[in-house]
Structure 1
Amino acid sequence: MAFESTTPSLATNGSIHRNRGIRDVIEHFTPVWFSVNMGTGVVSALLHSYPYGGNSIILNGFATAFFFLNLVLFCIFLTLTICRYVMFPRLWGLMLRHPVQSLYIGCFPMGAVTLINSGLTLGYQYWNWGGTTFLYTLWGLWWLDTFVSFLCCFGLVYVMITQHEHSMATFTSAWLLPIVTVIVGSSSGQLLAAALIPHSLSNAALTTTFAAFMVILGISLSLMVLTLYLRRLFIEGLPDAGAVLSSFLPLGPCGQAGYSLLLAGNNFVAILPKGNGEVLSDELAGRVLNIICFFCAFVLWCLTIWWLACAVFAVIYTVSVGHKLIFKLPFWGIVFPNGVGAILTIQLATAMDSAVFRVLGACYAAAVMALWLLLAVPTAIQVYDKRIFISPCVLEEKEKLRIQFEIARQEPSDLRLDREK
């Protein structure tokens, strides 16, 4: 069944008004929306782990409110996404072939992971929801999310290689999105493994080991991409004003991988020694691995701070030369990377019992929460008047069809002129 759309073409610069129908909104509902889940979920995590307040019921109450808000948003976004590809099946292939929109598919499993994390840390551990059954349900959902994450990490990278056209000038850090899915999933796995230790040491060991594999794979690939991205910055300069906020995306793999490694180190201490192998049966195995994980996490925190400074300077420079940052939905992509950077800082404060890191983490977390509010207001306004529902791949397709129609309409008149001559 075909559905018509009232969407204006690129020629009208996307001027959209409130009388757009629900079909048009669904047609323009893109995977970028799941970055809102990522940002909302990381705010919930920051409220729960905030270094001051003594794990108060007030902070955890707000964290729980953000969890339920995130859950409602995720259900809405998932429903609209399913409707989009059922009503407009051609858009799936069109979206996959788009060199930018397809990358945001990775936001889906990462947004889901934030729900699993909050369900564990808030629901199961703080509010004591559901008991062991709820814990194992979350564990099963994590394995499902892990499967989707690997599909993104390998499948989307394959699509990028075989279907997309790339150049160094158009290279942005958004290339990290398919890869970082396994890093985000790894931290969730380590949280679940820690919760599983009292119930099943074998399941905890399996989860810890597999999550460690995920983070090592993800950060290795991410550092390769970041090397290419740094080369792009040296040769081509900063991204244009419309993409300059993507400069914050490198914080994501560095911060999240560091957090995952800290959790892995703690789990290794609790699980090892184990078995009769030459390495893992040693009494010092867990402590040695914990120290290695801490050192690697600190190195990644240093990289996080460096990329944060680069991103801030990039935004300041872009604004100083007269460019305006016009709000768009992809702006939400900066909340989660900064959020995981704040979480890593807070976890390092705990690991080192450092007042300096505790203050830095608290300030960073507060800034991320303020950033969430700063983006939530224009998002709500543009959702109300429907300006925010714009799919670049759909608009580009409609523009191509319009040009083809204009060419076809001019051809008969050209033939008539030839006959008259």
Structure 2
Amino acid sequence: MSVTTTTTGAYPQDGLREIIRQFTPNWFTATMGTGILALAINQYPLAIPGLHAIGEVLWLANILLFVTFSALYAARWTMFFDGARRIFGHSVVSMFFGAIPMSLATIVNGFIVFGVPLFGDAALGIAQALLWVDIVLAVACGVLVPFLMFTRQDHSLEKMTAVWLLPIVAAEVAAASAAQLVPHMVDPQAALRLLVVGYALWAFSVPLALSFLVILLLRLALHKLPPKEMAASGFLALGPIGTGALGLLLLGADAPRVFTQAGLPGVGEVAQGIGIVGGAMLWGYGIWWLMLAVLTTVRTMRQHGMPFNLGWWALTFPLGVYSVATLALARQTHLGFILAIGGVLVLCLAMLWVMVATRTLQGAWRRTLFVSPCLVRGSIPQDFESTSL
């Protein structure tokens, strides 16, 4: 089963009601990609007039997208509950629950970066409230979706793709968001609490995600590349590596001040060192997966072609967090060549976003992207179909 719909369309698309019936969490990957682009171009290493304003517009547009998608998905659960609940038994689409908290995380970060100049200190209060919502959603996805994998869904090594990472990575994305809010916490105890929560969220996600990558490597060696509809998912492997590096770097940068205020100055210095060394090691690991993703994607396009679907948004968010991590590493190590690499990655991200966003708008206008694989008979285990929740 494809991650998302292809442009051929498998269901009649007549009116808003049918769009709601077919709406899936896959759409939140578009807000992930848009949100990370807004944050990445704001950190572009060259001082180009207007970049901050462009990032601000993208962030505001992303909020509108997130609210719209949330309303559509909530409407599906209200109007088509029996069809909506089938997602819990689907081995692919259920993974995209993780896209919801990761989308929200980009909005939280935007309130810190863009919201304060627009709305003042009230933006920090909003960011803090949304962050705790994001943390709850991320932890829930990180536990409940794997639980469904183990108990109710049909999985095999041959069918595995990097999509398995989506519900797991949400927690480390929340950790990076927490790290960005810590410097704005006035209360030292609140700052310490949020910093420790950030490290816990990082540990909640990164080791498990890295173990998934080991299994994914075995799957690629034994069963070769995934089908062409899933080719873009190869970039998802870059997500936990980039976010893991970014989380270590940002948490480590906060640590000296926060731990010193708590009477533990030595711990802060160690945490900062771990942030830089660990971030550099993960960054190097990410280079391998980035090169592999490029090679496999190009090979698939040349040999089989890649039909457009919402899975193409996998080209944006993982590359975006890796780009931001690269820039953070460059600024903490003061290494110019890493900063230059980060700038190139941000440019690549912007070009990919324009391409994918254009194709998505075309598909949305034609209503060919609104297809829920969960509604295909036989796409979920029969015992799940016959069981009431």
The interval holding the TM-score normalised by the smaller chain is over 0.9
**1:39 to 2:33 alignment:** yes
Q: Note the C-alpha offset of 1:275.
A: 4.4
Counterparts of 1:15 and 1:90 in 2: how far apart (Å)? 20
Residue 55 of structure 2 aligns to which amino acid in structure 1? A
Structure 1 residues 329-382: Cα deviation after superposition (integer angstroms, max 9, x where no partner): 121122100000111111111011111111110110010011000011111111
Contact 2:89 2:380 in 1 (8 A): no
Write out per-residue CA displacement over residues 100-146 of structure 1, whole angstroms, 9 at most, x where no aligned residue. Answer: 0000011001101100100111111xx15231x43123112111110
Report the secondary structure of 1:168's partner residue. coil
For 1:273 and 1:26, locate their aligned partners in 2 and report how far apart those are by CA, in whole Å.
Answer: 52
Are 2:12 and 1:23 aligned?
no
SS in 2 for 1:170: coil
Out of 114, 119, 130, which is 1:129 matched to? 119
Is 1:386 the counterpart of 2:367? The answer is yes
Alignment correspondent of 1:414? none
The answer (yes or no) to whether the contact 1:48–1:122 under 8 Å persists in 2 is no
Kept in 1, the 8 Å contact 2:192–2:262? The answer is no
Q: Is the 8 A contact 1:348 1:357 kept in 2?
A: yes
Q: CA deviation at 1:162?
A: 0.4
Q: Distance in 2 between matches of 1:69 and 1:30?
A: 20
Q: Map of 1:10-409 to 2, 5 A cutoff?
A: 14=9, 20-53=14-47, 58-124=50-116, 127=117, 129-131=119-121, 133-196=122-185, 199-275=186-262, 281=264, 283-320=265-302, 322-396=303-377
Separation (CA, whole Å) in 2 of partners of 1:147 and 1:242: 32
Separation in structure 1 between the aligned mates of residue 379 and residue 103 of structure 2, nearest angstrom: 30
Q: Label 1:161 to 1:15 Cα distance change in 2 as closer, same or farther (>3 A).
A: closer
The separation in 1 between residues aligned to 2:317 and 2:377, in whole angstroms, is: 29
Q: Which amino acid aligns with 1:21?
A: G
- CA, structure 1 residues 74+188, in 2 after alignment: closer, same or farther (shift >3 Å)? same
Structure 1 residue matching 2:377: 3-state secondary structure:
helix
> What displacement does 1:400 show?
12
Paired residues of 2:248 and 2:276 also in contact (CA < 8 A): yes
Query: Hey, what's the Cα distance between the residues in 2 that align with 1:72 and 1:314?
Result: 34
CA shift in 2, pair 1:85/1:352, >3 Å: same
State how far apart, in whole Å, the 2-side matches of 1:235 and 1:399 are: 25
Displacement, 1:177?
Answer: 0.7
Higher RCO, Cα 8 Å, sep 6+: 2
Does the 8 Å CA contact 2:153/2:380 hold for their aligned counterparts? no
Deviation at 1:290, TM superposition (A): 0.3
Contact 2:10 2:371 (8 Å CA) reproduced: no
Residue 57 of structure 1 and its aligned partner are, at CA, apart by: 5.6
What letter corresponds to residue 285 of structure 1 in structure 2? Answer: V
| CA shift for structure 1 position 396 | 3.4
State the alpha-carbon separation in 2 of the partners of residues 155 and 103 from structure 1.
Answer: 10
Q: Which whole-Å CA distance do the structure 2 matches of 1:46 and 1:151 have between them? A: 27
What root-mean-square deviation, in Å, do the aligned CA atoms of Structure 1 and Structure 2 show?
1.9
Contact persistence 2:154–2:381 (CA under 8 A): no
Alignment-mate amino acid for residue 137 of structure 2: V
Question: Matched residue of 1:295: which SS?
Answer: helix
Q: Secondary structure at the match of 2:320?
A: helix
Residues 328, 388 of structure 1: 8 Å contact kept: yes
Q: Percent identity, please.
A: 28
What do residues 239-264 of structure 1 show as CA deviations (whole Å, max 9, x unaligned)?
11111211110110000111011011
- Structure-2 separation of matches of 1:399 and 1:49: 43
**1:34 touches 1:74 (CA, 8 Å); kept in 2?**
yes
Residues 359/85 of structure 1: CA separation in 2 closer, same or farther (3 Å cut): same
Deviation at 1:160, TM superposition (A): 0.8
Contact 2:154 2:380 in 1 (8 A): no
Give the letter aligned to residue 120 of structure 2.
Answer: G
